[in-house]
Amino acid sequence: MRDVHLGRTLLATARMAIASELGRAVGAWPEHAALASFGATFVTLMKSDGLRGCIGTLQARRALRDDVRINAVAAAFGDPRFPPLQDDEFDDTSVEVSLLSPPERVESEEETGVLVRLRPDVDGVILEYGTQRATFLPQVWESLPSPREFLIELKRKAGLPADFWPADTRLGRCKMQRYRVVKWQEATAP
């Protein structure tokens, strides 16, 4: 269920956490009853219609207010793909917050079985093989619309070859999970 007030609260919390880290004055933190409950979020930063940072958690292990604050700061200053956000970029950067459902296992020992179970534009996907792990939020379907392409790029993100799928499960198997998100985004950078 999409709670508009919760969305505004999460977006404001993320923006204020980044502003505070930049040394900007922030007012009172927004409140919502759901902020005390445990939640898993991703915070995505966009600048000029391009990705500027994205960090999150896959399991609900802390209060939603803390998860959003920590992930917002990490997306702005700790995403290894980008340099830390500078103060002069802040006003031109928009925020998106995704609230994740608990992951559910995608049961199949074969890649073709996984592909038919993936739901484009619905599923976020977690792939694990040994110590290698990667995830794509459901929003990634916009740029990778076919399940095969989506899975190939997810494997690459995890550091695995595009054609990888373990034939001998005694050596390990790919663990696949999916989740849904409710997302809120600023219309444009404020």
User: Are residues 12 and 79 located together in one domain of the fold?
Assistant: yes
User: Are residues 89 and 17 located together in one domain of the fold?
Assistant: yes
Q: How confident is the model at residue 13 (pLDDT cuts 50, 70, 90)?
A: very high
User: Are residues 116 and 92 located together in one domain of the fold?
Assistant: no
Number of domains in the chain: 2
Q: Within 13 A of 106's CA, how many CA atoms are on the CB side?
A: 24
Q: What is the mean pLDDT of residues 160-178?
A: 82
Whether the predicted pLDDT of 147 surpasses 60: yes
Q: What is the mean pLDDT of residues 9-30?
A: 96
User: Are residues 93 and 55 located together in one domain of the fold?
Assistant: yes
Per-residue pLDDT tens for 105-129?
Answer: 998 888 999 999 999 999 999 999 9
User: Are residues 75 and 94 located together in one domain of the fold?
Assistant: yes
The reply to whether 92 falls in a domain is: yes
Q: How confident is the model at residue 170 (pLDDT cuts 50, 70, 90)?
A: low
Given a contact cutoff of 8 angstroms between Cβ atoms, the answer to whether 71 and 85 are in contact is: no
pLDDT of residue 174: 86
Whether the predicted pLDDT of 68 surpasses 70: yes
The reply to whether 188 falls in a domain is: no
Q: Within 13 A of 159's CA, how many CA atoms are on the CB side?
A: 6
The pLDDT > 70 percentage for the chain reads 94
C-alpha 109/C-alpha 112 separation (Å) is: 9
User: 16-20, 111-115, 178-182 — which is least confidently predicted?
Assistant: 111-115
Given a contact cutoff of 8 angstroms between Cβ atoms, the answer to whether 68 and 75 are in contact is: no
What's the pTM value of the predicted model, to 2 decimals? 0.90
Place of tokens 């399940």: 147
User: Are residues 78 and 9 located together in one domain of the fold?
Assistant: yes
User: Are residues 47 and 129 located together in one domain of the fold?
Assistant: no
Write the CATH number for 31.
3.30.700.20
The reply to whether 189 falls in a domain is: no
C-alpha 125/C-alpha 140 separation (Å) is: 10
pLDDT of residue 22: 97
User: Are residues 23 and 86 located together in one domain of the fold?
Assistant: yes
Q: Compute the mean pLDDT over every residue in the chain, rounded to the nearest whole number.
A: 93
Given a contact cutoff of 8 angstroms between Cβ atoms, the answer to whether 138 and 180 are in contact is: yes
Whether the predicted pLDDT of 189 surpasses 70: no
User: Are residues 88 and 8 located together in one domain of the fold?
Assistant: yes
Whether the predicted pLDDT of 172 surpasses 80: no
The reply to whether 31 falls in a domain is: yes
How far from 100 is each of 23, 41, 156, CA to CA, in Å? 30, 6, 23
Range of the domain at 153: 104-179
